[in-house]
Structure 1
């Protein structure tokens, strides 16, 4: 079982070591499973308490993906076989959010090697790291609207803090972004070409690591900057910054129906905007309504409160059935014809939407994070 996450410790020149955790499920593009979460949490805690370990690296096996998201097929099967969809998905989401929060709070430096596909649950792992590296192959998105979910794993917090209306646009459309975009919107800290990974790990093993956490954080930053500065010429051209004015115009105002109409009515030959438009057109109107409301709240929430809000939202998504239908259409039967409960955001029942933001628990299971 431990093979689904590979753990190793790299010896450094001055007798310390670097903990490396590798998601190891190339066939599923390293989709984050409950079994992976059960292994990662305790190992990260052990490394945090081990005085020999100076930093942690999280990476994905293979060339295609760091992590393409949570294992939603397993969640679909749980919802299909259970009497209550909310209870069926509860354990996975609670564990996932605890792990994401743990990474955010880890005192030692945490380096994410962000290559290939980084979506959904993969972005949840990445967003909490102290040092987030993206390569030229990085392809990042929160495409939950296509499966009747919403941008979770901390999306309430990090999407609401992006420049202008970027977070809302990315949440509504699930638009793909690259390494340059990730740096611009605050999802990444450094760009290093994939060909320099070996040089980076070699450099890290020769850093003069010490006992002071703040200095170790700075030493990792310096090692990354040394490789990053000459590599900037290889940074791919981004989309978000150049489209910032258009994004802000499309998403302005407090009327979600008007925002959706502007995006869906967009006539453009710009392929990036066109793909974003089409994803919103075919996505769940209920999910769009959830995204709009969660991001209105997100800017005022602490990180812990954001995860607590998302735990309840995810429970309700399992309960209501839209999530199950979205996964069925996209990944199970693959007919790409989901029968969404509401046909437009204007049709979304306000009472139904309000229920999503009501906690299903009297005592919240994440009250102690």
Structure 2
């Protein structure tokens, strides 16, 4: 196990047939296990070590405590760096986002099963981890969201990839409004695979220890699926919040461009869930809304590597354009909840939004350039 001053812990658990399970626990309960570089770097290194160890059959990833798996990235650290280094690209932001997005790609490409316990709060970067895992377990306490519109960022962490893969443009709606959704919604939107009770972690460990793991990784994905399917209890989950509104959501998102959608969302709804979504959108950052819309258009036919390459560029611009810094100030620093956004939606010209996609790196110096060559 790691030392207690590092906010992530690693264990191994023997299985009945002599293999082992690797267990990684995000260990920062006070911050709701928010991702930091002090988590990301050791996790990436440990995943590689377990990947190369023939005695490790599968990996489990969870968060400490009962409240949250991971409530996103540690944006307070980024806020301080934006104040100290108002440059483009911000070196601290390159470091954070570069390592974070590389971790998601590593997980997506991982040969062994990654079983992720998505119980409690799962937001932002936590959804990035969830989308990247091969086997995702949600529970009765799962509460997911991509609330970046409230802080002037955008649904990053691979959001441009996994929001595309949700039905009836629901991913775009969730990204624009930041509305929370539950475990059953996670299964509907391809962010969850299996359902269990929030207190069933010991049962999960016991079942995985008894599984007939093989020495070849390609066989163990099916073994993990079979084992988790025997534990699957969808009746444990609350009723879907999204499904009853899916046709309306689809209709709203097909109203036209972002300005037509904005008009629909600001018109008001008699339905409480839709109105909560509309309220969050209306109070959120206009540039985030325009950027989220543009990203959804641009990412439609891109690979995961291309999307993460693009997101790193966009995230660095967001650290420079003022809205992200202002959103963090209003929500987390001064906590006045009165952000002063830099511009209205009408002032977000196509040229301004497209400027976020211009690489701030010199030719050949983007950290992910090698991904695209391969």
Per the TM superposition, whether the score is higher than 0.5 is: yes
Task: Report the CA distance shift for 1:85/1:67 in structure 2 as closer, same or farther (over 3 A).
Answer: farther
Is structure 2 residue 179 aligned with structure 1 residue 175? Answer: yes
Question: What is the SS of the residue equivalent to 1:319?
Answer: coil
Question: What is the SS of the residue equivalent to 2:210?
Answer: coil
TM-score in terms of structure 2 length: 0.95
Contact 1:86 1:314 in 2 (8 A): no
**Equivalent residue, structure 1, for 2:52:** 49
Match for 1:58 among 40, 58, 61?
A: 61
Is structure 2 residue 326 aligned with structure 1 residue 301? Answer: no
Is structure 2 residue 225 aligned with structure 1 residue 218? Answer: no
The answer for unaligned runs of 5 or more in structure 1 is: none
How far off its partner does 1:85 sit? 5.8
What aligned pairs does 1:1-369 form with structure 2 within 5 A after superposition? 2-3=3-4, 4-84=7-87, 86-87=89-90, 88-228=92-232, 231-268=233-270, 270-343=271-344, 345-361=345-361, 362-363=363-364, 364-369=366-371
Question: What is the SS of the residue equivalent to 1:148?
Answer: coil
How far off its partner does 1:2 sit? 4.3
Q: Residues 83-106 of structure 1: CA distance to partner in whole angstroms, max 9, x if unpaired?
A: 316414111001100011111111
How far off its partner does 1:233 sit? 1.9
The whole-number CA distance in structure 2 between the counterparts of 1:97 and 1:84 is 21
How far off its partner does 1:82 sit? 1.4
The whole-number CA distance in structure 1 between the counterparts of 2:10 and 2:85 is 34
Instruction: Decide which moves more: 249-258 or 33-42.
Output: 249-258
Contact 1:147 1:327 in 2 (8 A): yes
The whole-number CA distance in structure 2 between the counterparts of 1:28 and 1:37 is 15
TM-score in terms of structure 1 length: 0.97
Q: Residues 292-319 of structure 1: CA distance to partner in whole angstroms, max 9, x if unpaired?
A: 0000111200000010010000010011
Which portions of structure 1, spanning 4 or more consecutive aligned residues, are displaced by more than 2 angstroms? none
Q: Residues 267-316 of structure 1: CA distance to partner in whole angstroms, max 9, x if unpaired?
A: 32x33212111110010000000000000111200000010010000010
Contact 2:195 2:237 in 1 (8 A): yes
Q: How many residues are paired up?
A: 365
Q: Residues 7-36 of structure 1: CA distance to partner in whole angstroms, max 9, x if unpaired?
A: 000011111100000000000000001111
The whole-number CA distance in structure 2 between the counterparts of 1:253 and 1:247 is 10
The answer for unaligned runs of 5 or more in structure 2 is: none
Question: What is the SS of the residue equivalent to 1:203?
Answer: helix
Contact 2:176 2:289 in 1 (8 A): yes
